[in-house]
Structure 1
């Protein structure tokens, strides 16, 4: 316990020191953590607010030096164009997740610990030199006893404990930022960190990745041209993942492999089919489709998809609205785009709807006037999300993942053939989706489902009304009040209490004056007659009255 606390404290100090090093010392100062800096770190820290133009590169350098947890967090934040300025997200997209590999001996020990047998007994052969090394795990080629070629992904020893420590510190920092900055409260920074933390934790669980792989594989069970590797469950745990090896060409090496223009066009169409099926039809899609995770298998002319540590999920209703958003852009229908956005986001009551509509219409018109070869659906959606941010509209995180996926796979297609247009490739799927949606049978099913939900709501309404009336009668009715409303209420209470205090003080002063008058009129001789007690008491009371009056007026709440 003591050891863990010391490790956490030392890591806290390291993080705070690096914030100062990269020009974010003013944040450390604002949230009250300067006491955690050593004298050397205080001297090295920059406590002045830096130039926003360089903020992006400084944030990227900071996250890279802070290590795996912050790199992962930065990569996930890079898709949040609805929350962060472009100069930040562009730099976060450049974050590198490459680290020196773990020694082969440590990897073998981890496999023994997880699978219960040494590598020599589990595999016919095991390549000690890793194929890829990242901050969380690394991949080795191997051959099973039955001759199957596999890829074995092994989590770095001790990495989970380090990441969990960083996540705890991130939560602390996010709450401190919410206490200090309005923007952090508005965007619910602590909740966002919790959501990102959950995503990182899922990446640490290789059983979760194995299940994701199987789910994506089932989407293409009957598709001969799209291949997802099979999972070898007997060789898989939360820390070791063993899957079928796909032998193919990376999409960045197609020219070197002699792939023709027609071949590239076929790959692009398969890629569009794969991702539009996942996003619009299944609502469960690859969240990190960079070129290294997509292979072309020339022997069977297949498209291979690998590495499902990050996935995106769109619930049925959100999937329909996301489809409406894309269809609205394809059909140049601003009304459809705006209506879809309102259902896909948290829209504040203060939003200027006409202004927002005009901004979206401007983006839509720009898209319709672009030459065919320059049309870019992914970046158009990203621009729409950024516009929503300017209007303080918060897009649901599932949609930002979809936007990032569209941008990535559209970029891959453009690299293969700049003349290929994703909107033209997507149009047949959009039209098929429209036909399916407005099919009388499907419409009837949706109406019936909505009617069931409405009837359930209506049936429960009398009970809800009775409960509301009961709580009101018993005095147990509760109201939700925002922080700004609480502040306004407290200010009014202050004004009322100050006015009451002033009235009571004035009354007391009046009584003192009255007592003085009576004392002078009906006073009698005593030992204290020679002492001007009444005059002294009057002076003291008068100055106390002036002091209370000054304090109330100074507060500005009278």
Structure 2
């Protein structure tokens, strides 16, 4: 076994031991990982399940102790309200990314390795005490020779090796879970792990975060109320990120400034406008807008965004559907809400359309008697996700991330001023989007695009029909059938074959009876009649007939 294999095996044992330590030993046992436990671990294993709150508490501490990869996993799961109880979600939202500081000599060595010069040569001033230490990177204040004050994010040494090894283990574990749990297969746990892997790999590339920051900056280049830090590319690599320092306070600390009601409304309006622009106009939005990543700059009365490693993306079609959903919610239009939900999720063919519509209509009616200013938007979104879950409709992660972002935004606005309401503030923007949707130029362009797509589809039909007929005539036609459909087909074949067997058996028995009647009527004295062969044959045939009928009934497929 090579060095990587040994390291991976040791990490497996560490993960399994921590699972047991935090009360998740039953998972270890069921997926077949007990061989990775030491005798001591097996003796102290506790295979009992607690309530949701206790489970969430233990899960949070387990993930924190397992390290950066698993903390990111917990953060990803915290947006999956369709998978976990609300008590567990609340605990996962408390996941702390604070870890021990990296020694300053290692940080300086990393900077020299990446930038090719000693820290003293790169910066006029470099604060050795970090401004923040997270599981992937550590941030230090500095000053460039040209004068600007900056924040320098330095990636932890050897963090990539640890994360990449953990991601491989998580992929293995997700496959084991899908093999042992139906719910894991239904919710595409392997796909979820793949999304996590891509997300973390992106976060490990600081060049990508720099490009994300510039993209958001470009969205607001002409907006004086929104500030995104400048990236200094000459001092940035895949593992070093140098950006402009924003002098402000966390957005949740605004209430400590004794602002007037009008000033608070202005801050909330800036937040709403910024996310309407990011989500519904550009389709490129801050995927982790917790209060620590959003600043308020009192001197300039600006909103500032930092830490743009995690980004949400929406195609133009999805932006259209999200707008449809928002308009449907605000106008209590069940038809629009259902249409948008169907387009934004993966709906199985087995879904009961009428029941789903009625459940959505129930939510719509529930909030129709609530004034817009008192409407709990977060509760509404969670109700929609819960209904989708109950109907086994799969919600893609990007849609879940969007929902989580809007719920977080609603919470921030309430912290600024409890009397402010997200939907009430957003209504003018939704009306503007509605007007834009039916703008003759844009409406005509959308119709033209749809017509082009339809034309392409129609022109392909003759060729597709010809191909199907050709393959049919040559015996090469292949049909894809799901496992569930295959089981139904086999069941129908069994029923058909059992009915044929029953008919043939009944026919054979009838022939035997007929032969007995003929023999009795026209028979002569032979050796066969002397030993009662016909009677014996009748009894044997009758018993075989009963046995075949019993076997067919026993299968339950008749």
The TM-score normalised by the length of structure 1 is: 0.87
In structure 2, what is the equivalent of residue 240 of structure 1?
A: 240
In structure 2, what is the equivalent of residue 136 of structure 1?
A: 136
Q: Where does 1:63-102 land on structure 2 (aligned, <5 Å)? A: 63-102=63-102
Q: Where does 1:417-456 land on structure 2 (aligned, <5 Å)? A: 417-456=417-456
Going from structure 1 to structure 2, the CA distance change for 1:43 and 1:221 (only over 3 Å counts) comes to same
| Cα distance between partner residues in 2 of 1:336 and 1:116 | 57
Deviation at 1:231, TM superposition (A): 0.7
Contact 1:83 1:386 in 2 (8 A): no
Contact 1:142 1:151 in 2 (8 A): yes
In structure 1, what is the equivalent of residue 398 of structure 2?
A: 398
Secondary structure, counterpart of 2:262 in structure 1: helix
Deviation at 1:497, TM superposition (A): 11
| Cα distance between partner residues in 2 of 1:472 and 1:378 | 53
Contact 2:255 2:417 in 1 (8 A): no
Superposed CA offset, 1:52-98 (max 9, x none) = 45322222222122111111111111111123232322221111111
| Cα distance between partner residues in 2 of 1:116 and 1:356 | 60
Which deviates more, 475-484 or 120-129? 475-484
| Cα distance between partner residues in 2 of 1:51 and 1:121 | 56
In structure 2, what is the equivalent of residue 361 of structure 1?
A: 361
Q: Where does 1:360-379 land on structure 2 (aligned, <5 Å)? A: 360-379=360-379
Which deviates more, 319-328 or 57-66? 57-66
Contact 1:373 1:418 in 2 (8 A): no
Contact 2:52 2:85 in 1 (8 A): no
In structure 2, what is the equivalent of residue 62 of structure 1?
A: 62
Contact 1:312 1:402 in 2 (8 A): yes
In structure 2, what is the equivalent of residue 109 of structure 1?
A: 109
In structure 2, what is the equivalent of residue 414 of structure 1?
A: 414
Going from structure 1 to structure 2, the CA distance change for 1:30 and 1:351 (only over 3 Å counts) comes to same
Contact 2:174 2:193 in 1 (8 A): yes
Deviation at 1:466, TM superposition (A): 1.6
Deviation at 1:148, TM superposition (A): 1.0
Superposed CA offset, 1:341-398 (max 9, x none) = 0111111222222222222222223333335553222332122112211111112221
Deviation at 1:465, TM superposition (A): 1.5
In structure 1, what is the equivalent of residue 509 of structure 2?
A: none
Contact 1:276 1:429 in 2 (8 A): yes
In structure 1, what is the equivalent of residue 521 of structure 2?
A: none
| Cα distance between partner residues in 2 of 1:212 and 1:50 | 41
| Cα distance between partner residues in 1 of 2:144 and 2:11 | 41
Contact 1:24 1:50 in 2 (8 A): no
| Cα distance between partner residues in 2 of 1:448 and 1:485 | 38
| Cα distance between partner residues in 1 of 2:225 and 2:487 | 61
Superposed CA offset, 1:268-318 (max 9, x none) = 111111111111111111111111111122222211111101111110001
Kindly indicate whether residue 148 of structure 2 is the aligned counterpart of residue 161 of structure 1: no
Deviation at 1:21, TM superposition (A): 2.5
Superposed CA offset, 1:378-436 (max 9, x none) = 33212211221111111222111111111111111100101111111101110111111
Secondary structure, counterpart of 1:247 in structure 2: coil
| Cα distance between partner residues in 1 of 2:247 and 2:488 | 66
Kindly indicate whether residue 256 of structure 2 is the aligned counterpart of residue 260 of structure 1: no
| Cα distance between partner residues in 2 of 1:252 and 1:449 | 43
Superposed CA offset, 1:17-57 (max 9, x none) = 22222332222222211111111111111234544453222
Q: Which runs of 5+ in 2 are unaligned?
A: 505-526, 528-543
Contact 2:82 2:386 in 1 (8 A): yes
Q: Where does 1:39-54 land on structure 2 (aligned, <5 Å)? A: 39-52=39-52, 54=54
| Cα distance between partner residues in 1 of 2:250 and 2:53 | 35
In structure 1, what is the equivalent of residue 386 of structure 2?
A: 386
Kindly indicate whether residue 174 of structure 2 is the aligned counterpart of residue 174 of structure 1: yes
| Cα distance between partner residues in 2 of 1:383 and 1:500 | 51
In structure 2, what is the equivalent of residue 512 of structure 1?
A: none
| Cα distance between partner residues in 2 of 1:220 and 1:230 | 12
Secondary structure, counterpart of 1:81 in structure 2: coil
Secondary structure, counterpart of 1:80 in structure 2: coil
In structure 1, what is the equivalent of residue 321 of structure 2?
A: 321
Going from structure 1 to structure 2, the CA distance change for 1:456 and 1:485 (only over 3 Å counts) comes to closer
In structure 2, what is the equivalent of residue 506 of structure 1?
A: none
| Cα distance between partner residues in 2 of 1:261 and 1:224 | 21
Secondary structure, counterpart of 2:143 in structure 1: strand
Contact 1:83 1:394 in 2 (8 A): no
Deviation at 1:496, TM superposition (A): 10
Contact 2:53 2:88 in 1 (8 A): no
Going from structure 1 to structure 2, the CA distance change for 1:492 and 1:457 (only over 3 Å counts) comes to closer
In structure 2, what is the equivalent of residue 14 of structure 1?
A: 14
Contact 1:82 1:387 in 2 (8 A): no
| Cα distance between partner residues in 2 of 1:278 and 1:34 | 47
Contact 2:255 2:415 in 1 (8 A): no
| Cα distance between partner residues in 2 of 1:371 and 1:458 | 47
In structure 2, what is the equivalent of residue 310 of structure 1?
A: 310
Going from structure 1 to structure 2, the CA distance change for 1:295 and 1:50 (only over 3 Å counts) comes to closer
In structure 2, what is the equivalent of residue 230 of structure 1?
A: 230
Contact 1:498 1:557 in 2 (8 A): no
Deviation at 1:179, TM superposition (A): 0.9
Which deviates more, 18-27 or 192-201? 18-27
Which deviates more, 288-297 or 414-423? 288-297
Going from structure 1 to structure 2, the CA distance change for 1:461 and 1:489 (only over 3 Å counts) comes to closer
Secondary structure, counterpart of 1:346 in structure 2: coil
Superposed CA offset, 1:444-484 (max 9, x none) = 11111111111111222222222222222222222222223
| Cα distance between partner residues in 2 of 1:87 and 1:353 | 30
Q: Which runs of 5+ in 1 are unaligned?
A: 504-520, 522-544
Deviation at 1:159, TM superposition (A): 1.0
The TM-score normalised by the length of structure 2 is: 0.87
